[in-house]
Amino acid sequence: IGCETHMNRKIREFEQISLSHLKDKFCANMLHEMQLIAANNYEDKYQDLFMEQMTFCGLLGYKEFVSNSEWRSRVLDWQFEGCYRNVQEKRRESMINSRRCLNHKTSMGIGALVANIRFLVDVSV
């Protein structure tokens, strides 16, 4: 909110068509990446990125990011007692408690689930 003027200036500066065009382009690239992650059995190191992309483009209204029930199930399966973590995670600053829950990954998991709930509510109305 309040940054549209700044964004439009940057779009002109970098000779882009429009903000809408950029969102379409970014989300098309992200969808392709998500499909590759899924095709490679959702490697642990890409779960965070997968949920980030689902959150970003899903909340922008791109239904293909949140209409896939397998993807939704995976995000739910990655939870550990209400949060998300990595077994190999070594960075203490990203942990939120003694259960080794990760701030960013948990935030992205919540965002992805919110985007999915929003989609499911919109479909059912």
- Segment 72-83, tens digit of pLDDT: 999 999 998 878
Tell me the average pLDDT across 32-61. Answer: 96
User: pLDDT category, 96, cuts 50, 70, 90?
Assistant: low
Contact in structure between 80 and 101 (CB atoms under 8 Å): yes
Comparison of pLDDT for 42 and 100, the residue scoring more? 42
Amino acid present at 96: I
Comparison of pLDDT for 3 and 27, the residue scoring more? 27
Comparison of pLDDT for 14 and 32, the residue scoring more? 32
Mean pLDDT score of the chain: 86
| 15: its two tokens | 């000779």
User: pLDDT category, 119, cuts 50, 70, 90?
Assistant: very high
Half-sphere exposure of 47 (CA within 13 A, CB side): 24
CA dihedral 83, 87, 92, 97 (to 10 degrees): 30
Closest to 102 in 3D by CA, of 79, 117, 116, 84: 84
pLDDT over 70 (residue 1): no
- Label residue 51 exposed, middle or buried (CB < 10 Å: 0-12, 13-18, 19+): buried
Contact in structure between 22 and 16 (CB atoms under 8 Å): yes
Contact in structure between 117 and 55 (CB atoms under 8 Å): no
Query: What is the domain extent for residue 66?
Result: 3-123
Closest to 105 in 3D by CA, of 121, 73, 82: 82
Comparison of pLDDT for 97 and 16, the residue scoring more? 16
Number of domains observed in the structure of the chain: 1
pLDDT over 60 (residue 92): no
- CA-CA distance, 63 to 118, in Å (whole number)? 10
pLDDT over 90 (residue 124): no
